Amino acid sequence: MESNEELSKYLFQLKKLRRDRNKKRGDAPHKPVLLLAIIEGIENGDIISNRIAISPELVLSFKDIWSKIVVTDHLQNFAMPFFRLKSDGFWKLHSKHGSFIPRTISSFAGLREAIELAEMDKALFDFLLNPISREVIKAELLNHYFPDTKDRLTNSQNDFVNQLKNQVLNNDRLTYAERIEELRSKMQVSDFEEEIYVRNGIFKREIPKLYNYTCAISGLRIEATINAQLVDACHIKPFSISQDDTVGNGVSLTPTLHRAFDRGLITIDEKYEVLLSSYFKEYDSPYALKQFEGKRILLPENKNYFPLQENFDWHRKECFVL
């Protein structure tokens, strides 16, 4: 009985979210969309704790759900609800390094700079972990805030997600870079920051998949029992220079080899073989990088997903320390 009363209390709170009101556009949909994205993250296994971090998966889910059920012309903004849910009684923000939390945050960059994570009430999160009470809460949010479009959430595919994934996997470098510049010119700064963050998240997710979650150099492969990735998606040519999140600019590496690659201590030659810089000294160890010199890297099964030699050529010329 006590559990039912507590669930009823949260259902009441969730129907009374404090939202900006506009005579023309109506009440802001951002907070309920974020809560639905959190529910989706729990269902997918991306969110396993009531301490909820800003992640590419959560932002992507927010944008995907928004594209399906929001029909007003409100500006899509992830930072606003993540920050402002603190006024609804079940959401506590934690700042980075214990620093001061600003009174307002409007940009995505500002949110990531100031906020480490948000802590949801443990009792509410426990209700979301339970499949039965989770469905009750999800239905309540959809029925109350999106009665006319709720069916789109269950009946439609992940069109937005699939579109971005297709661009990362199948666009050539120039087409992708042109798309990024087009988005930069059309989108507000905060929206563009979110877009790049999400695209980079898809890159980080898809590259290790193509290598079967295996390091291309060492061959190390570890499967975790939780939703955790233990190899990195490494940009061969940094995104800040290339604007390129496509598969031809990616390779799967362990964190240590990723750092060595970024610092120019190792590179890959025209035959996809490992080159080592002579400018660092290693002591005898079974983990020494020297063991990989001359080794051909592991490559995806599909040749269309091979890292491009033009990117490795850039890395050899601009990063590698001979």
Give yes or no: residues 165 and 151 share one domain: no
Per residue, the 3-state secondary structure of 163-225, as one string, reads HHHHHHHHCCHHHHHHHHHHHHHHCCHHHHHHHHHHHHHHHHHHHHHHCCCECCCCCCECCCC
Contact 289, 265 (CB under 8 A): yes
The reply to whether 117 and 183 lie within a common domain is no
pLDDT of 115 higher than 80: yes
Q: Is there a contact between 14 and 141 (Cβ–Cβ < 8 Å)?
A: yes
Q: Which of 139, 156, 173 is the last residue of a domain?
A: 156
Could you give the CA distance from residue 91 to residue 82 in angstroms, rounded to a whole number? 9
Same domain for 91 and 201? no
Radius of gyration of the chain (CA): 22
The H-assigned helical ranges of 87-172 are 108-114, 122-129, 131-145, 150-155, 159-170
130, 156, 182: which is the final residue of a domain? Answer: 156
Same domain, 53 and 133: yes
Of 156, 180, 197, which closes a domain? Answer: 156
Residue 1 has pLDDT above 50, yes or no: no
What is the token pair recorded at 1? Answer: 């009985």
Range from 175-179, 221-225, 312-316 carrying the lowest mean pLDDT: 221-225
Tell whether 139 and 23 lie within a shared domain: yes
SS3 assignment, position 39: helix
Question: E strand or H helix at 119, and its extent?
Answer: strand 115-120
pLDDT digits (tens, 9 = 90+) for 230-260: 899 999 999 999 999 999 999 999 999 999 9
Residues 6+ apart with CB under 8 A from 72: 25, 26, 29
Residues of the chain with pLDDT > 90: what percent? Answer: 78
**What is the model's pLDDT at position 286?**
67
pLDDT at residue 227 tops 60: no
Query: Are 141 and 17 within one domain?
Result: yes
Mean pLDDT of the chain: 91
132 and 167, same domain (yes or no):
no
Nearest to 111 by CA among 86, 66, 139, 80: 80
Q: Which residues contact 167 (CB under 8 A, 6 or more apart)?
A: 176, 179, 199, 246
pLDDT at 97: 78
Count of domains forming the chain: 2
pLDDT at 159: 76
Q: Regarding predicted confidence, which is higher, 26 or 315? A: 315
Torsion of CA 112, 114, 116, 122, to 10 degrees: -110
Judge if 32 and 99 occupy the same domain.
yes
Mean pLDDT of 133-160: 88
Q: What confidence score (pLDDT) does residue 157 get? A: 63
Whether residue 93 sits in one domain with residue 8: yes
pLDDT at site 25: 78
Check whether residue 152 and residue 166 sit in a common domain. no
Percent of the chain with pLDDT over 70: 93
- Mean pLDDT: which of 22-26, 94-98, 214-218 is highest? 214-218
Domain match, 93 and 201 both: no
Q: Both 143 and 177 in a single domain?
A: no
Residue 41 pLDDT grade (very low, low, confident, very high; cuts 50, 70, 90): very high
126: its two tokens: 């426990």
Q: Give pTM, 2 decimals.
A: 0.84
What pLDDT sits at residue 259?
Answer: 95
Number of CB atoms found within 10 A of residue 97's CB? 5
Condensed to tens digits (0 to 9), the pLDDT of residues 65-111 reads: 999 999 998 989 999 999 999 999 999 999 987 778 888 887 999 99
Range of 14's domain?
2-156
Give tens-digit pLDDT for 182-211: 999 999 898 899 999 999 999 999 999 999
**pLDDT(18) > 80:** yes
**153-173 mean pLDDT:** 85
- Note the Cα 233 to chain centre separation in Å: 12
Q: Is 156 helix (H, G, I), strand (E, B) or coil?
A: coil
Range with the lowest mean pLDDT among 1-10, 137-146, 256-265?
1-10
